[in-house]
A and B are shown apart, each in its own frame.
Chain A
Amino acid sequence: MSGSGTVVKAVVVPSAPLLLAEYAAAGDPAPALTAACTGAVEWLVQRRPPLVHVLTSPPTGEERANGAPDLGPRVAEHLLRRAGFAGEVVAGARPGEQVETVLVVADGSARRGEKAPGHLDERSFAFDAAVEEALMLADSAALESLDVRLGAELLARGVPALQALGALDLPVEQVDLDYAGDPFGVQYWVVRWQCVL
């Protein structure tokens, strides 16, 4: 600890494309999720940081094959701009890098029910519960050691991004869970971390 008094904030939001303006419907299908994302990202950039590190997961094979721009960065960019952030967006962060503002775009399993995008896989529940616990405890080691292969099988888009968050090894003092739910069979979290270095 340097004792610099620097406030470090990190926020986790989902990468659900329904958050994007270009896919808006007349009615917001998940208003509680939208409100939580909006509130958390506004909190993140409240002090107008010059840059935000954005941690996302690489696109899936299908996304890459179709040539669409990466989802995670798009969601991050959208939420940041809507929150009034006009600074620099930096993709990624090196392990151990001293960061001040971090936005993580990550989801849990997309196989949490028979109508879920990936149908039902019972392993989803234990997997997501472990991720949620690691987020709530700000357990960097647990995040870093998430099972990449199981995550991929469960269509969990968040694993690489959450591992990158764990690798920052932030000395988190305060955790707020603003949203946890799976309204469409995909596990979403909106989590805020804060610490003072």
Chain B
Amino acid sequence: MTLLLGRHEFPDDATLMMAIVNRTPDSFYDRGATWAEDQAFDRVGLVVEQGAEIVDIGGIKAAPGVEVDAAEEIRRVASFVARVRSAYPSLVISVDTWRAEVARVVCAEGADVLNDAWGGADPGLPEVAAQAGAALVCTHTGGVVPRTRPHRIEYADLMASVLADTVAYADRAVAAGVDRRSVLIDPAHDFGKNTHHSLEVTRRLGEMVATGWPVLVSLSNKDFVGETLDLPVGERLTGTLAATAVAALHGARVYRVHEVVETRQVVDMVNTIAGRRPPARAVRGLA
């Protein structure tokens, strides 16, 4: 399906890199490296140079921590979105937020995508996306409260829950007026899931792709990779890329990443093996 991400349209065979840009002092991977606005802006420049089509700007770390209210989230994110919009008109700007109140402000500043990592916790979000002409990422969290860690969460049928919840959210978004081409679904690895669950949704991602909704995956350096390989943050790139390859083979469209260059190479390689993309160059044996 053609993707319409705010002002930007992508053909149905395009895979997209969504680079993570944190406006937080405490996110797990970069530990506040881009907390200073200029450093966050420099990271945007870097990932654009590396070929990212989308930046995903977040003002609140996913894990529990210091309370960040809507006013503070807006303060962290909104003016930064405006700055990026002005400097990079052709870049897709996504904002990682579950709050409709924040979404309304960032869309006015130029956001193209609302990445609702907490799976519809705020029922007002689809209406905001519809009114702003923004895209919406519909994630599965198993109904957990935002910024909580999974604790003994279990599913009678994990994939049934993932499929039912994300598709229902996507349908709700379309009913609210969001363009059908502007809705993505995301199994949300690690969110409301133990490591076994995240591995299962990776293994069975093809069932999400088969719904026809474009699939976004957010795998980058997450705990399910760390636990699988018994590796701390900072040593999870290889595992992340292995999971990325599986997601790509299943047909995921958008990849939310810390490492743009490595992920792009893996996704292109896998999609070329799968016959969905030609080699960049082919002369060997053909001269």
CA distance A29 to B281 in the complex (A): 6
Which residue from B277, B278, B280, B283 sits with its C-beta under 8 Å from A184? B283
Residues of A9-55 at the interface with B, using a CB-CB cut-off of 8 Å, are: 16-18, 23-27, 29
Total A-B contacts with CB atoms under 8 angstroms apart: 36
Which residue from A26, A29, A110 sits with its C-beta under 8 Å from B283? A29
User: Once the chains bind, are B280 and A25 in contact (CB under 8 Å)?
Assistant: yes
We find that the number of chain A residues with CB closer than 8 angstroms to chain B is 16
**B156 in the interface (beta carbon within 8 A):** no
**B279 in the interface (beta carbon within 8 A):** yes
Q: Which of chain A's residues have a CB closer than 8 A to the CB of B283?
A: 18, 29, 184
Mask: chain B, 262-286; 1 = CB below 8 Å from A; 0 = not: 0000000000000001111111011
Closest chain-B Cβ to A93's Cβ sits at a distance in Å of: 28
DSSP class of A's interface residues: helix, strand, loop or mixed? Answer: loop
**A95 in the interface (beta carbon within 8 A):** no
**A160 in the interface (beta carbon within 8 A):** no
Which residue from B277, B280, B287 sits with its C-beta under 8 Å from A18? B287
Which residue from B277, B279, B281, B287 sits with its C-beta under 8 Å from A186? B287
**A185 in the interface (beta carbon within 8 A):** yes
Q: Which of chain B's residues have a CB closer than 8 A to the CB of A16?
A: 286-287
10 smallest A-B Cβ distances: which pairs?
A184-B287, A25-B282, A18-B286, A17-B286, A186-B287, A25-B279, A29-B283, A26-B278, A25-B281, A26-B280
26 interchain pairs, CB-CB under 8 A: A16-B286, A16-B287, A17-B286, A18-B282, A18-B283, A18-B286, A18-B287, A23-B282, A23-B286, A25-B278, A25-B279, A25-B280, A25-B281, A25-B282, A26-B277, A26-B279, A26-B280, A26-B281, A27-B281, A29-B281, A110-B287, A116-B287, A117-B285, A117-B287, A183-B287, A184-B287
